[in-house]
Structure 1
Amino acid sequence: MQRMIQDPTKTYTLLLMLLLVLIGGCKKDKNEHPVLVFKVVNYFPNSGNTGTLITIEGSGFDNDLSKYTATVVGKQAEVVSATANYVVVMVPAGSGTGKIELKYAGNVHDIGTYTYQALSVKAISPNRGPVGTNIRIRGEGFSDPDKPAVVTINGNPANIVSLSDTLIIATVPDKTLSGPVEVKVKESSSKGPNFRVQALFDITPKTGGKGTKVTLIGSGFETEVAKNQVTFNGKAAQILEATETKLLVQAPDGVQTGRVNLKIEDTPIEGPVFTVIAPPTISLITPLSGPAGTEVTITGTGFSTIAGETKVAINGKDAVIKSVTATELKVTVPVNTGTGNIQVSVNDQVVAGPVYTEQAVGISGFSPDNGNVGTVVTITGVGFSTTPANNTVTFNGVVAKVNAATATQLVVVAPQGVSTGFIKVRVNGVEAVSPKVFQTSGVITITTGLPHTSVNAFCAGQHGEFYVLFRTYNQVYKVDPNGTVTLYAGDPNGRTGNNEGIGTLGRFTAPVGIVMDKQGNLFVAEASGNIKKIAPNGMVTMYVASASIGASGLAIDNQDRLYIGARSGSFFGFVIVTNGVPNYSFDLYADPEGRMAIDGVGKVYGSDLDATGRYAIGDGSYERLIGDYSAGYADGSYSDARFGTIGNMIWADTKKLVLVCDPENNALRAINPATQKVTTIFKTQKGFKDGGLADALFGDITDVTIAPNGDIFILDKTNKAIRKVTF
């Protein structure tokens, strides 16, 4: 050591050489190929006689013949050839029935049993294909005068097309999986090579859209991606992974509903149908904040109830799904979520929701969800202070008084100046936001000056006015924006007839419905089925002279087509009138009552005198969809909902709801086509009172109409009133 120190140049040189050796050794280790393990997976044939060639199949083999020795029943056998996957051995003379052994690299491998006999399966062609493929099986000892040969593929009997002593042609049977081809003659049997059945059994998922990852499940797939081709209704898909039994592919751009087809090299295989569906939607998430472990409810559409198809992430962390329906998810907030968007993925179709914040304070809901100044609102959630003064609550920025408080509930009063907006709760500097807005809502009376209580229908005009129909008096009254009521059309003495003329010179006979088109023309349906037109100048003319169809109401869609509910002795359903031409094709054996509603996609909702809730589609089909034959009162799904009676209804396009008058329950109900649920807007006692929806009183819910700006109005015949409803 002392000498090395005395000669530093030699020391540095020696250290440098050692370093280079170490680096070289590391590089060598890094570039070395992994050692393949010697593994035997199959051998064939398992029978024959002297000179039969036995093929041993596997991996990790060496092509150097000198490294192998083989014995058949203890006798030395010649190793004829060797590759990375196959070793071929020739059966020596004098062999009998017994073991085949292969020695390689000092290890003896027991290959299997060889039966010395005349029967032997030596080769098959082709060695892969779909069910129904004809296989040519070559060998010897196949024919026997007493008993024909039997062929099985992986144990399934195959139909023999032709047979000689050295050649059999057999057909791959249905429901066959990949496996050995075996021939049996009398008591002897011989197993040959495996036949790879190329089949597509199923796909998962079966629904989705662009970018959905779909797994094809089958057999005989090529493990080399490029040798498989997958199409969705003719469009090529990208293959991401491939094994012999599974292919992972991605649905292509522009994917449409249709079959998923597979081509393995030159073999085409037809698969199941993949159905394209819309991505999921999120309409509400509650709460939007809270600690880890909080249960979050996500409301929307397009969720899948099939396990694994719906996934939820909060700020990128997977959330545990506790329950799922097509329209609602319940998930648990994971630990260390932080703050970030909630995302719902259904079969790789992703929709982003609002931001969720992991914190101590959260608002899960509040009730009622609408009201005005002075409305008492109960807020539920977590992390509230039990001291009322330590909770700061605002309604759209306006501070409200907190009357009572627990850790999970606050009772507050909607403040002066309240308007539609979010409720916020701040505790110790931490602020939570409500999952939805508090709606300022209520009832305001426009007029109580209608002349009679026999009013049965009305519609809103284009300039804030209303047109009110009185069947008993055969008259149409106009209510100006200032509330002034005047006779607009029809005989002053209530006389019937088909007289045409301006205003009171025109006559009606038992009018049952009234609507206005985009040009300001009024249309009045009569019980007979006639439709009369009132032009903007007040001119009354016959528009449709109909056969007697027993009209029950009149509706109009967004294309200004008229719909008459009809219930005569020979026609039950509805009539569509386009540019004055009626179409009587919709005889649906229904008994409609009141005005129907036509939603934004043309579906027609109409009631039935014998059933509380029927649903008709514009192409003429008809089915009971909403409610039940028995009357009652219940919100919920289409099948669970109950109505006392179904009166007039209308489509509220801005709210995407069908509004339904339920006079028996003195209620305004709403049908939501997106969620397929029925809810109650308000349900009141009999009387007359303006105020919040929970406090207002109505004498009768006779009809509902919607102004061009989306405002909603109720006709209350008992109080001879038109009343505005906000919600």
Structure 2
Amino acid sequence: MNRFAIFFGIFIVLGIQACHKDKDNPPEESTKSKLEDVLTGIDSLKSFTADFKSASLAEEELSQGITVFTLSDRVLADVSVAKNNLQSTTVGIQDLPRLRAANGTNGSDFKDGSSIKDYIVKGRFSLSDLTADKKLTTLSGKTITVQVVNGIVYLNGVQVFNNPISNNSAFAVFALSSFINYGSMLALDNQALAKAAPCIPGGILTILGQNFSEKPEQNLVTLNGKNALVNAASKNKLVITIPAEATTGLLTVAVNNKTVSSLSAIPVLLPNISTVSGIQALGCQHIQGIAVDNNNTLYFTDPSNHRTLSYDASGHSVIYQPLSPPVKDINGDGKIDANDAELIITDPWAITLGNDGKIYVGGKNNEIPGIFRFSPNTPKQTEHWAGSSDLNLEGRRLNTGMSPIALLADGETILYANNFSNQQYVVNRIAGDNIMGWLYNINLLNVDPTYQQSATMLGMTKVKNVSTFYFADGTGKRIWKKDQNGLYLLAGANNNNHKPAQDGQGNAALFGSPMGIALWSDQYIVVCDNDYNNHNYSIRIVNSYGVVTTIAGGNNPTNSSKDGIGKAAQFDGVNAIAVDKDNMLYVASDDGSIRKIQFK
């Protein structure tokens, strides 16, 4: 056998082995092919998938890890209809040519001029990787900014749906609620708007979208034709206050002669005011303090009759009016009996419900102010829980002078606001057997040098499970906020000339005399404002931007009471307010009634 034959035989053998090796180990499928397989299996992505398949994407662009943000046929159809006045939004096989025509001509360009590469970013990201203010770079070289609002992720103001379509080591695929707009087109994220609603007058609405002005005053926002105050602005987000007179309707944003409207109406819940039946039959002359428990049982004080009462959802009432044992013939009938028993508590004023299930009432005993504690099932017995005739304002619970005009249960402690003139201690805290100063007049003056009063906090409330407190300052005519970072003036200003109460933001707002205060839906501060000088008794909302909005009541020179919606309702004094577990508000009035406010 010659040398040539030997080499030829070796070549044949190696070739056969190579063929077997290629058959056993076929070439690895490209990243694009894998993505096409994933997308093809999803019926709602037919149009996006067709565009993806026809796009020119090099393997080296995809193989280092990518994240794809897809647009469903429904999204494409909705945008196509909005831009081209198409009549149908039904998506099916027959609609694909229409969608393709509306969204591009070459299979890789969408209607807004963006390409498929604008929806693919460099790097493989999970949802948890998309943190606030993170910058993403697309294959087309554009930048996307991540926003996170209430746990929901947005890209340039467009929502990313939480559940990934696909997630492996090479790529991740998510769905978007709308186009990512990189141009100058003004746009709203309508799905995010739908989730943010419903709204209430004075409340806050966050609007996500694209190409807003970063200057709040350059964004004109209306809700059903009523102008809204823009509290904060960025290119992709506006925060507005719902106007007092707003009703359900379309939201419109205008910027630099460009206007866009929501696809559907934004629902606005209005305050409906009604009188709680059965309360006035109890003969209260005026109701000063009010609280409500988890069973929606109301507890309230009737200082003119020296009583504290409860009234449950079935209409059953209990009178808490303990008497001391008779010790002398008070009525002069010649004998000492039950008719000579004296009231233990006079002038019950403030009331709160403790975590221990007890009722705490601020009142007087023998003209000595203090705090009294009741068990709900023993209305004729009480405990003198705090207060004495001593002049010291800090110390032991039963050896400290106080004049509690407002009470607030804070976990295992009780806060009380004093009604002393020119006092050093505005609010004290009782923890165990000890009383200590907690908020001082000097603190208020340090925050607002224009402050001219000795504060009287007529109402207090707090955020659940958070050390954030709000105070209604009756003499200072302000609303204060206190949290772990310090004390803040939220709204209000000096009003020594007794100007009528007016809505506004921060110190542009004026109060008559803010009294009761509550936190509605753990979001908004609701304030009872008694403007006695101008006969203006109203319920007002203060949001986190310090915007004050009157939502119910108003000028009432006859001091009459009338049920109704919003400002059509009238109050004869608004002294205190409480909110139940269903977010119903209850207002204590001077005419001995309790009014209920329900947003609907």
Which structure carries more strand by proportion? Answer: 1
Structure with bigger gyration radius: 1
TM-score by length of 2: 0.49
Structure with more contact order per residue of length (Cα contacts < 8 Å, sep ≥ 6): 2
TM-score by length of 1: 0.41
Which structure carries more helix by proportion? Answer: 2
